[in-house]
Structure 1
């Protein structure tokens, strides 16, 4: 449970930290417990396709909040 509370704590970085990571900060496999097979297969495919065609695409916070809550991802309202 501590892992989840730490995951969702909002951390505000310094201006220097934000400017040093203008595209956000990437967390690699060894820094978390989330594995690719735990993420929706279609979401992973979309990310790979967008990256392949020159776009920058990421799976971000809201997707992980949905994952940990056990809900299904919602792509439309």
Structure 2
């Protein structure tokens, strides 16, 4: 397991570097990247639907609800 600098994540994935999204930490294990972040459910849905990230969450929650969660995907950084 390797820690990835948050600034590296923000440079590689500019859609995570925007107001309303707070990237807290990131790790890599082999080819899997896991990022913890705080954001509104609406932005989380956008990231999962448009950028191939995976996340377990309830899509029935109001889109303005703030959550702290983890997103993951297979990719080398």
Looking at secondary structure, tell me which structure has more strand per residue.
2
Looking at secondary structure, tell me which structure has more helix per residue.
1
TM-score, normalization by structure 2:
0.27
Which gives a bigger RCO, structure 1 or 2 (Cα 8 Å, sep 6+)? 2
TM-score, normalization by structure 1:
0.27
Rg larger for? 1
